[in-house]
Chains A and B, each alone.
Chain A
Amino acid sequence: GAGVSQTPSNKVTEKGKYVELRCDPISGHTALYWYRQSLGQGPEFLIYFQGTGAADDSGLPNDRFFAVRPEGSVSTLKIQRTERGDSAVYLCASSLRQGVGNEQFFGPGTRLTVL
C-alpha cells in the first residue's frame, strides 16, 4: 500500500479483555514505532523496532503491553487484561531507515475504548 495502515480503526472492549492492534508499515521501511495518544495530549512513545527486534521498549507502560514484528514488516501490539486507562488512540509510524533525518510516516491510528 501507499501508506501506513492500521487495523482495526476502532476497537471497543471490556475491562479485562485481551486486544491486538495491527500495523502494516510502508513497504521497505525498516524502522517501526508505536505511540499512544490520549485525549488532549501529544503522542507518547511506546516501542521501537529495527527490523524484527524491539530495539527500545522503554515506553511500554507495564508488562500487560507487548509488541512483535516477527518478519520485520507487520507489527502487532498486544494488550492483556485491558484497563479503562488504556483507552487512547494507538499510532504506528514507520521510517525508511533508522537514525536522524528519517521522517516518520504515521498511520491513521486505532482508537481503543475500554469499557
Chain B
Amino acid sequence: DQQVKQNSPSLSVQEGRISILNCDYTNSMFDYFLWYKKYPAEGPTFLISISSIKDKNEDGRFTVFLNKSAKHLSLHIVPSQPGDSAVYFCAASSRAAGNNRKLIWGLGTSLAVNP
C-alpha cells in the first residue's frame, strides 16, 4: 500500500520549458515533504522541502507547491536544463513518529530534459 504515489514513471520536456512532477499522498499525519534527485549509482540528493503549514516553497529554479486538501504536491523546475535529467523522488515524514523522521518514498519519476 503506497502512502506516497508518483503516478508518472517518466517525463520528457524540452530544455528551457517547465517540468512539473506530481506526487499524491494518503496519510494525513504527514507534515513534512521533500523532493530528492537521484543519478544512477549515486545516493539521493536533497532538492527542496515544504512543511505542511505552507503551500509554497521556492529555491532558485525549483518550486514546490502543496495542496493539503487534495493531498497533492508538485515540483516545478523552470527553466529545465539537460543536467536536470535524473530520477526525482517525492518523500514524506510523519509527526506520528515523533523525532524519528523516517522518510516514506514514492516510486520516482524519471525526468529527461532534451536539448
Contact = CB atoms under 8 A, between A and B. Distances in A.
B103 A45 contact: yes
B107 A42 contact: yes
A107 interface: yes
Interface in A28-48: 31, 33, 35, 40-45, 48
Contacts of B51: 100-101
Given A100-B93, A104-B46, A108-B42, A42 B101 contact: no
Given A42-B107, A100-B32, A101-B51, A91 B99 contact: no
Given A105-B46, A108-B41, A99 B101 contact: yes
B97 A43 contact: no
B100 A43 contact: no
A95 interface: yes
B101 A100 contact: yes
Given A4-B43, A56-B100, A103-B49, 16 more contacts: A31-B101, A33-B102, A42-B4, A42-B107, A45-B102, A93-B43, A95-B101, A99-B99, A99-B101, A100-B32, A100-B93, A100-B95, A105-B46, A106-B43, A107-B43, A108-B42
Interface of B: 4, 31-32, 34, 36, 41-46, 49, 51, 89, 91, 93, 95, 97, 99-108
